[in-house]
Amino acid sequence: MDKSQNQPYIADSIIQFPTGQLKLSEIRHLFDALPYEVDFVDATDHFKFFSDQPHREHPRSVDALGEHVKDCHPKQAVPAVLEILSSMREGRTDRVERTLNLNGKYVHINYIAIRDNQDKYLGCLEFTANVTDLINKFQNGKFTSPADEITGASDSKIAQTKKNAESQQSDSVSGASEC
Amino acid sequence: MQRYQYRFKALGTKITLTVFQEKDQQIFLPSQQLVERYEKQFSIYRPNSEISIINRLAGQREVRVSSGTFDLTRLAREISLKNWGFNIAIGPLVKEWNIGFKDAHVPSQKRIDALLEIIDPTKIILNEQSHTVMLADPYMQLDLGGIAKGYIADRLQDLWHAFGIKVGMINLGGNLLTVGPCPLHPDHQWRIGIQNPWKVRGESLRVDSLPACSAVTSGIYERNFTSNGQFYHHIFDPQTGYPVKNDLMSVTVFTDESVWGEIESTHLFFNPKITLTEAQKDPHFIGAVFVYQNHEIRILGI
């Protein structure tokens, strides 16, 4: 099924949020442009929506839309998925976090319970981020440490070179004081 | 908030001073001069330092020293007698092993036994009235290396206070002293990182929030060598003459005064099973983080 041919149902409607307004068409493209994958399972545990990025970490098919989660997950994952969802529905959990290595990439997943202002459970948002680039940047020192300063054992390399330099230095000093 | 930093090399390490007010940078030059003065006084690598003179005249005669050298030697001797692992006279043993240098080796047991006699701290003779120090054995050598950095950090803080500078950081190659309330965070606590022993320098294993205090780390990850498959590091047990055997990688100690950080980091390295009550018998103690070779972490008091 060619998703690009399907426009949102009411193309020109504007949705008024407390913090501003978006056209339905804007919402669609906004989801597509997010550098994160978004999936939504409703309060009855049915798969209702996924964002349409070109290279998803978790490929989804529109055929799965409307299915119960136990029908669109691998069998061995179903008990864990159901447990997360029922704990959210019962208010025991608001967020579950997973970190995993997927096809040589670092992937960070958040399952977030969505509730309305009366705390009524609306469903679960699965938020998937490929954080490989972020981790590489961190490892290459692109982020400064949250520490103001770092304590460590004396740096031996500096100590050694300093010692060597000093023994040479003190030799030349005694020579200099003679003349 | 702007940081103003000054870096220089002294005491065999990299020194970084940080202040947070532009005009407080005036303290950098006098600070460097103070460090260099103490280095001239304490360093065993300066042939004319007070400590070098004491060492050269070991077994011969007493040497009159300045009050700073006398006080620090007296404190170091007192702590050395407690059997906490710290020993100011351990120099000849360290030199024999020479860990951290190319010719590091395991000495013979006969040689170690002879050295254990030499490094006896009761053979340091002090005279309170004349401020003189004498080493009773001609082969004895004092080395303030393990305690001088802490002492100097404390004196730098005194100097800053004398100049009215109440906030900043003094970092003597990993020995850290934070001064005053931290201006970087709303809770005024300093974020102190502990070096990750398995990573490059500057990468922290964990970050703790603490009020102004000293942070000193004793670790075996910087100086060590392997001989016949045996791993040897540079923290020696004055009782056995061998590197202390335990499963620690490092100990970081938070104390009020930095000189006590130096003392306690060694003390706790030798006594990793210490309870909080026991550790708090030292009124200078604030907290400690033990990092084990199997990557476990034990936190005490913070």
| pLDDT, tens digit, 9 for 90 and up, residues B159-192 | 999 999 999 999 998 899 999 999 999 899 999 9
Tell me: pLDDT of B147 over 80.
yes
Q: Is B44 on the interface with A (CB under 8 A)?
A: no
Tell me: pLDDT of B11 over 60.
yes
ipTM of the complex: 0.73
Alpha carbon distance B184, B225 (integer Å): 40
Cross-chain CB nearest to B250 (options A153, A155, A170) = A153
Residues from chain B that touch A174, judged by Cβ atoms under 8 A, are: 47
Name the percent of chain A lying above pLDDT 70: 79
**Contacts of residue B246, Cβ cutoff 8 Å, sequence gap at least 6:** B269, B272
Hey, are the CB atoms on B195 and A150 less than 8 Å from each other?
Answer: yes
Give the pLDDT score at B229. Answer: 80
Give the pLDDT score at B152. Answer: 98
Q: Chain A, 154-173: which have a CB under 8 Å from a chain B CB?
A: 154-156, 158-160, 162-163, 166-167, 170
Give the pLDDT score at A2. Answer: 54
Closest approach of B222 to chain A, Cα-based (Å): 6
When comparing pLDDT for A10 and B212, which is higher?
A: B212
Alpha carbon distance A103, A100 (integer Å): 10
Give the pLDDT score at B252. Answer: 96
Tell me: pLDDT of A11 over 60.
no
Q: Is A176 on the interface with B (CB under 8 A)?
A: no
Q: Is B211 on the interface with A (CB under 8 A)?
A: no
Mean pLDDT of A64-69: 92
Tell me: pLDDT of B3 over 50.
yes
Give the pLDDT score at A163. Answer: 41
When comparing pLDDT for A140 and B28, which is higher?
A: B28
Residues from chain A that touch B169, judged by Cβ atoms under 8 A, are: 148-149
Q: Is-contact B201 B194, C-beta < 8 A?
A: no
**For A173-177, B137-141, B216-220, B294-298, which range has the lowest pLDDT when averaged over its residues?**
A173-177
pLDDT tens digits along B48-73? 999 999 999 999 999 999 999 999 99
pLDDT tens digits along A112-123? 999 998 989 999
Q: Is B7 on the interface with A (CB under 8 A)?
A: no
Cross-chain CB nearest to B190 (options A148, A166, A170) = A148
Closest approach of B66 to chain A, Cα-based (Å): 22
DSSP letter for B121, please: G
Mean pLDDT of A160-167: 39
> Which of A139, A150, A155, A172 to mutate against chain B (most B CBs within 10 Å)?
A150
Cross-chain CB nearest to B9 (options A146, A150, A162) = A162
Average pLDDT, chain A: 79
Sign of CA dihedral B293, B298, B301, B302: positive
Tell me: pLDDT of A176 over 50.
no
Q: Is B231 exposed, middle or buried (0-12, 13-18, 19+ CB in 10 A)?
A: exposed
Name the percent of chain B lying above pLDDT 70: 100
pLDDT tens digits along A29-45? 899 889 899 999 999 99
Q: Which residue has the tokens 């950081």?
A: B169
Q: Is A175 on the interface with B (CB under 8 A)?
A: no
Tell me: pLDDT of B117 over 90.
yes
Q: How confident is the model at residue A161 (pLDDT cuts 50, 70, 90)?
A: very low
pLDDT tens digits along B96-111? 888 877 888 899 999 9
Residues from chain B that touch A152, judged by Cβ atoms under 8 A, are: 174, 194-195, 201, 217, 219, 222, 250
Half-sphere exposure of A3 (CA within 13 A, CB side): 14
Amino acid letter for position B203? E
Q: How confident is the model at residue B267 (pLDDT cuts 50, 70, 90)?
A: very high
> Which of A135, A139, A142, A149 to mutate against chain B (most B CBs within 10 Å)?
A149
Locate A70 and state its tokens.
């136990």
Amino acid letter for position B91? G
At residue B178, φ and ψ (nearest 5 deg) are: -95, 140
Alpha carbon distance B139, B133 (integer Å): 15
Distances (CA, A) of B211 to B21, B28, B56, B188: 19, 23, 43, 7
Max mean pLDDT among B81-95, B159-173, B201-215 falls in: B159-173
Q: Is B204 on the interface with A (CB under 8 A)?
A: yes
When comparing pLDDT for A71 and B253, which is higher?
A: B253
When comparing pLDDT for A133 and A167, which is higher?
A: A133
Residues from chain B that touch A160, judged by Cβ atoms under 8 A, are: 100-101
Hey, are the CB atoms on B184 and A148 less than 8 Å from each other?
Answer: yes
Q: Is-contact B125 B155, C-beta < 8 A?
A: no
Q: How confident is the model at residue A170 (pLDDT cuts 50, 70, 90)?
A: very low
Concatenating the DSSP letter of every residue in B63-120 gives EE--HHHHHHHHHHHHHHTTTSS--TT-HHHHHHH-TTSTT--PPPHHHHHHHHHHT-
Alpha carbon distance B168, B179 (integer Å): 5
Cross-chain CB nearest to B173 (options A155, A170, A174) = A155
Tell me: pLDDT of A159 over 50.
no
Q: Is-contact A88 A121, C-beta < 8 A?
A: yes
Q: How confident is the model at residue A172 (pLDDT cuts 50, 70, 90)?
A: very low
Hey, are the CB atoms on A153 and B218 less than 8 Å from each other?
Answer: yes
Residues from chain B that touch A143, judged by Cβ atoms under 8 A, are: none
Mean pLDDT of B119-134: 96
Hey, are the CB atoms on A152 and B46 less than 8 Å from each other?
Answer: no
Has this prediction a pTM greater than 0.90? no
Q: How confident is the model at residue B220 (pLDDT cuts 50, 70, 90)?
A: confident
Alpha carbon distance B77, B143 (integer Å): 11
DSSP letter for B34, please: H
Chain B residue at shortest CA distance from A156: B222
Q: Is-contact B102 A160, C-beta < 8 A?
A: no
Closest approach of B218 to chain A, Cα-based (Å): 5
Closest approach of B9 to chain A, Cα-based (Å): 8
Q: Which residue has the tokens 């500078």?
A: B165
Q: Chain B, 260-289: which have a CB under 8 Å from a chain A CB?
A: none
Residues from chain B that touch A151, judged by Cβ atoms under 8 A, are: 174-176, 192-195, 215-217, 252
Alpha carbon distance A120, B46 (integer Å): 75
Residues from chain A that touch B174, judged by Cβ atoms under 8 A, are: 150-155
Alpha carbon distance B214, B35 (integer Å): 17
Average pLDDT, chain B: 93
SS (H, E, C) chain A: CCHHHCCCCCCCCEEEECCEEEEHHHHHHHHHHCCCEEEEEECCCEEEEECCCCCCCCCCCHHHCCCEHHHCCCHHHHHHHHHHHHHHHCCCCCEEEEEEEECCEEEEEEEEEEECCCCCEEEEEEEEEECHHHHHHHHCCCCCCCCCEEECCCCHHHHHHHHHHHHHHHHHHHHHHHC
Q: Which residue has the tokens 């059997």?
A: B83
Cross-chain CB nearest to A149 (options B14, B45, B169) = B169
Q: Is-contact B44 B12, C-beta < 8 A?
A: no
Q: Is A121 exposed, middle or buried (0-12, 13-18, 19+ CB in 10 A)?
A: middle
Alpha carbon distance B172, B11 (integer Å): 8
Alpha carbon distance B299, B262 (integer Å): 18
